[in-house]
Each structure stands twice: as C-alpha cells, then as structure tokens.
Amino acid sequence: MSLTLAELAAVLPHSSHRGDTRLTGITHDSRRVKPGWLFCAVRGSHGDGHTHVQDAVQAGAAAVMVERFVECGVPQLLVPSVRAALGPASSAVEGWPAQHLRSIGITGTDGKTTTSYLLERVLEAHGWRTGVVGTVETRIGGRGSPSTLTTPEAPDLHRTLAEMVDDHVDAAIMEVSSHGIDQQRIEGIRFDVAVFTNLFPEHLDYHGTVEHYWATKAKLFEATRAAAGVICVDQDWGVRLAHQTQVPSQTFGRSHTADLVMEQVSTSLSGTSVTIRRRGSTGTRRRLWSPLVGSYNAYNMAAAYLAARILGVPASTAEEGIASCAPVPGRFELIDRGQPFLVVVDYAHTPDALAGLLATARDLVSNRVLVVVGARGGRDRLKRPRTGRVAATADLAVLTTDSPGREDPAHIAQELLVGTVDVPGRNVVIELDRAKAITFALANAGPGDAVLVVGRGHERSRHVGDQEVPFDDRQGAADALAGLGWTTPLRTAKLGEPSLGDYGTESKMASG
C-alpha cells in the first residue's frame, strides 16, 4: 500500500504540504529510514526529531512530516503536532490495516499478557487466525519475534497490523500500555473490545500520580477508541471506569454487582478453575478451567471469556480455548530438575503482583516460601519500600539486583530494605549478584518449600550501566539447581492430572 503526500495531507486535519511524492513507508527514527519513506520529526522530552531531518533525507526519505518547515530538499507535510499525527499517518500509509481486523486491546497494571494468551487460544478454537502484540513477543499466525515495547510506536504497530492483514489474520490481540496510550501510539485504531484488568500504583515516575495513571488507562474506553468494553469491578478504579465510560461495557469480578460473577476459585499445580454465572441468575453456572497456575489467573480467564463472548464466540468454544492455553513464558514458569521443592520464575514486578504470587505459593506448598527479588533502576522509586515489605513476608527474602541501569544496585537494595524494617520476624538477606542470590535461595530450600525468582520473567537480558547484559532467570535457576546436584527432570503432569505431590498441598478453595 502506498499513497501520496497530498493524499495523506487530505486525511490529517489542519495540515498543509509543500511538494508531493509517493510514500511507501513511515518511521519516526532517522536510523530506520528506507528510500521512499516518510520521516516524522517527533519532538520529545529527550530530543527533537527536526534535528535529524537531514540524516533522514540522506538515508532516502522521500518526504518529512514536521511542525515547522525546514530546509531539506524534499516535500514536507506540516502538522500542528507530529506526535499526534503519527498514529493516523502510520495507519494511512499502511492502508488502514486495523479496519480489516477484529481488534482487542487489553490494558491494566497486571494480567495483560496472560489475558492475551488466553484470548488467543479462545479465538483460535473458534477458527480465527490470530495476531498478538505484547510484552513477551509479537506473533502473527503463530510465528513470533521478541518484543522491545509492550505497545510499539505507531509506525511499527501499524506496519505489524498490515503484516497481519497480508497474512490473512482475522483478529489482532494487543496489550495496551499506559505509555502507549499517553504517547498516542494506538491512534488510528478503534478496538472492537477494550479490556481493563486492574490498576495498582505503577509508572508513577512517568505519570506522577495514580489518578493520572488511571485517567490515561481510561482513555482506551472512549468511544473513539473502542466499540465495547470489558471491565473488572473488584476495585474502585474499575467501578469508576464502568460508571464513567460511554462505551457499552460488561463487567466481571467477585462483586455481586458484576455482570459476570466469579464465585469459586481453586488452584493447584494442575491449573486453576473458576465458577462463573450471570448476575441475577440462580440457574446455569459455568466452570472455566485452565492449566495456568495461580488463583489470580481466574480474573484473566474471566476477562478472556467475556471478551470472546462479546465477539460472538460460543460459550463452549470459549471454555475449550481457555482449557487449551499453554503456560505463558515467565509467568509462574516451573523450573524442574528433580528437586523436592518448587522453583518458580515469574514476571511479578509490582508489590501487588508479588503479594498474589506469594499467596499462591503458600496455597501450593506445605512448608516455607523463599523469594529472590530486586527493583529496576530509573523508575518507580516510591514502590521499592512496598516491594521490600511484601517480599519480607516470605520466610526468606533475598534482595538482589534486577536491571539497575545507571543506578547503584546497592542503593536500590537499600530502598527495598527500608520497607522491611517493621515486618515481624523478617528474614532478609542482601546479595547483589543475581546469579549468587538465586543459588543462595535454592541452597537454603528444603523439601516442600517454594522458591520464587521474580521480576524478570521471560526477559533474557538486564541493563547494567549503559550495557545490556545477557541473563535469563530461568536458565540461571536451572544452572544453579544443576550446580547443587539436581539434574534429572521430574515427570511433567499432563493437563487435568493431580498436582505433583512432592510439593505439599494440592490446592485450596476460595469462595466469594
């Protein structure tokens, strides 16, 4: 798909152009310009794209989109805000691909990735070819490539959607981050269904306040961005969103006021189940089951079920798809080398996600829970004491380095430690070498214990100083177990089988 600069100007309000040419692609990164592409000079907090116009032209840019005309020797498109125009322009250059796809946008602090995996399996069970854009990877028709951003910048996002259209994808499932909304990366897309999972304090270094963070998430549920909504109402944030949005929405949660009420949740190493019913119904109840471990996954299952039903998927097909979902990389991922204790790698990087993970671990094992945790550098310093406080509720908390960037790892660990001082009976150790911290926790584990290695999940590298250093928690845990003499994998339980008894209790039931 291509169009001329004049044709693009015609669809962008308050724009004008000097000269004309045919455009075959679009980018805001002068280093990625290809001949025939439009370079968009975005102004940001760390730089101004107008200073890179000449670099883009030398790389072959056919035209530039700017906020002020510049001397560059190629046609120019003048707009009030390049950032605001980037999404619609990307959509137009790529042939408005979102219009040819059913699209689902999932936002919230926790649960976006797992909900996207569940929904992918449900829609595939319905016979639709799917594409996914998210934190772990971008997948088109089952083929994946690692992601660098949860929600890509608009040119990359619309180019990916165009690839989905070319690959005959029926439905695109997308994790929508608050940065993606605030930086207008999703402009040019009106989702068929928008999903809200939950909201906890996060990214406050960027948003400033929780209120602003919530308001940014709520923008996804405006009529220009979504046709329908699915909203969890077990928090005040979700209740507010459900009352505020003008988008027709269905709600879910344990609250008796939800449209889809979650009644019973049970979890074991075999998976998680939740009983659901429609509000006001005293008759038909449905039981959703998934091999995903952790009671918090019941919310993700309910969200995927409800979104699929809005899209017209039969209830039985939705149940089938949820039951067939494979474990999500880095989300309660078991590392099994024959040891008589549970080892889990999980992405939990917020205090609330960590608390949920600890609760699940206590449900699953008969003895102690040990945790290895750090905090990322350059962001969300205010949540570090809360993270440390939650970690200290474990029987042993090993505070370590996460991805410190340019911050001093020892200083980050001290800020985590501050939150632990008033935790009764705390047992906290600082080991800044992450590989040694994992080994220390595993060496101190005994039969029936659980060791949780959290914060990194699926990620395979860390930023230390200005360098990207390879490190995968899953491989690190496996190597540490091997070094301790555990090398023989146990038999893996098949879907629906009882959980592995060596770890202790099979499950606990919660009602509400």
Residues 6+ positions from 408 with CB-CB distance below 8 Å = none
| pLDDT tens series, the chain, 512 aa | 679 999 999 999 999 999 999 999 999 999 999 999 999 999 876 789 999 999 999 999 999 999 999 999 999 999 999 999 999 999 999 999 999 999 999 999 999 999 999 999 999 999 999 999 988 889 998 787 888 778 889 999 999 999 999 999 999 999 999 999 999 999 999 999 999 999 987 776 777 788 999 999 999 999 999 999 999 999 999 999 999 999 999 999 999 999 999 999 999 999 999 999 998 876 688 999 999 998 899 999 999 999 999 999 999 999 999 999 988 888 999 999 999 999 999 998 889 889 999 999 999 998 999 999 999 887 778 889 999 999 999 999 999 998 898 999 999 999 999 999 999 989 999 999 999 999 999 999 999 999 999 999 888 889 898 888 899 999 999 999 999 999 876 433 333 333 333 343 333 333 33
Assign residue 60 the CATH number of its domain: 3.40.1390.10
Q: Is 511 helix (H, G, I), strand (E, B) or coil?
A: strand
Length in residues, the chain: 512
3-state DSSP percent of the chain in helix, strand and coil, to 5: 35, 25, 40
How far is the C-alpha of 310 from the C-alpha of 314, rounded, in Å? 10
How far is the C-alpha of 188 from the C-alpha of 425, rounded, in Å? 53
Residue 357: inside a domain: yes
**Would you state the structure tokens that stand for residue 489, as one six-digit string?**
């994998």
Same domain as 379, residue 354: yes
- Can you name the residues that pair with 405 across neighbouring β-strands? 464
Same domain as 45, residue 188: no
Range of the domain at 404: 333-483
Same domain as 363, residue 465: yes
Same domain as 338, residue 303: no
Assign residue 388 the CATH number of its domain: 3.90.190.20
Nearest to 197 by CA among 260, 138, 293, 114: 114
Q: What is the largest CA-CA distance in the chain?
A: 73
Same domain as 150, residue 287: yes
Domain count, the chain: 3
Same domain as 300, residue 160: yes
Nearest to 171 by CA among 225, 122, 129: 129
Same domain as 317, residue 340: no
* φ/ψ (deg, to 5) at 133: -120, 120
Nearest to 41 by CA among 64, 7, 13: 64
pTM of the model: 0.87
Same domain as 128, residue 24: no
Nearest to 203 by CA among 379, 351, 376: 379
**Would you state the structure tokens that stand for residue 237, as one six-digit string?**
């944030």
Q: Is 342 helix (H, G, I), strand (E, B) or coil?
A: strand
- Domain end residue (candidates: 68, 93, 118): 93
- Domain end residue (candidates: 50, 66, 93): 93
Cβ atoms of 200 and 112 closer than 8 Å: no
- Can you name the residues that pair with 30 across neighbouring β-strands? none
- Domain end residue (candidates: 31, 59, 93): 93
How far is the C-alpha of 40 from the C-alpha of 196, rounded, in Å? 31
Same domain as 120, residue 175: yes
